């Protein structure tokens, strides 16, 4: 399973890219709105920092608007993936864009039916939002597994991005559920490094080394 970073913050992306652990980035209008800079300026910078799929979302709700925005975004860099919500106008746009060779990540997926429709329309990726399902008392990881199983069973050419990841335990859960990609917030990526036995082990190694040097 690949890891993407779920943020529009350039500093977070720079750090995660330096650690060598991320293969792509996902953004959405809420994440872009948190930044002080215009997203039109941020997107090319992200593409320079990470040589992998970079999802940028359209905000139009009609087919013509989506297509216009998508074509503009796709011109920014060959790695730009267009994010479109799962809705009839959106899937119509997916079909047109896929025929033009523009890859789409269908977002806000909360059911196997939505994932199937997106895949049939030609989505390169589908993004089930597990944290938001957990929020309403359903099991997000179970949805990710069902979508992966459905895609495998019917040999559909769509990758599953487990999105709306809220804590480090979500990551192994979606990896074992077969997600192709997990997109994680920066805080979760930092938490993934952490284990008390690692921290304690490092302290003990350094302490023992220092003691031994003192005795020489
Ligand atoms: O990639 C989608 C993700 O950003 C949504 O996360 O935490 O707002 O549900 P969240």
Look at the alpha carbons of 40, 44, 45, 51 in this order and tell me if their dihedral is positive or negative: positive
pTM to 2 decimals? 0.96
Q: Give the whole-angstrom CA distance, residue 129 versus residue 119.
A: 16
Mean pLDDT of residues grouped by 10 in the chain (216 residues)?
98 98 97 96 98 98 98 98 98 98 98 98 98 98 98 98 98 98 98 97 97 84
192 class by beta-carbon count within 10 Å (0-12 exposed, 13-18 middle, 19+ buried): middle
Identify which of 12, 26, 28, 160 to mutate to test ligand 1's pocket (most ligand atoms within 8 A of the CB).
Answer: 28
Q: Give the whole-angstrom CA distance, residue 60 versus residue 87.
A: 12
184 Cα–ligand 1 center, Å: 9
Backbone φ and ψ of 80, nearest 5°: -70, 130
46 Cα–ligand 1 center, Å: 18
């Amino acid at each position: 399973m690949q890891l993407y970073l779920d943020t529009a913050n350039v500093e977070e992306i720079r750090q995660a890219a330096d650690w060598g652990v991320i293969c792509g980035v996902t953004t959405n209008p809420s994440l872009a709105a948190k930044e002080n800079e215009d997203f039109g300026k941020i997107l090319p910078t992200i593409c320079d920092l990470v040589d992998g799929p970079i999802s940028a979302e359209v905000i139009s709700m009609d087919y013509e608007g989506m297509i216009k925005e998508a074509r503009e975004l796709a011109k920014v860099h060959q790695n730009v993936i267009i994010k479109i919500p799962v809705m009839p106008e959106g899937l119509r746009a997916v079909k047109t864009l896929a025929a033009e060779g523009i890859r789409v990540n269908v977002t806000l997926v909360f059911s196997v039916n939505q994932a199937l429709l997106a895949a049939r329309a030609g989505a390169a990726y589908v993004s089930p939002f597990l944290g938001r399902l957990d929020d309403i008392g359903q099991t997000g990881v179970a949805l990710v597994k069902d979508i992966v199983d459905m895609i495998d069973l019917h040999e559909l050419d769509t990758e599953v991005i487990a999105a709306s990841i809220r804590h480090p335990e979500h990551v192994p859960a979606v990896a074992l559920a077969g997600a192709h990609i997990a997109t994680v917030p920066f805080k979760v990526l930092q938490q993934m490094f952490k284990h008390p036995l690692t921290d304690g082990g490092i302290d003990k190694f350094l302490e023992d080394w220092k003691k031994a040097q003192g005795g020489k």
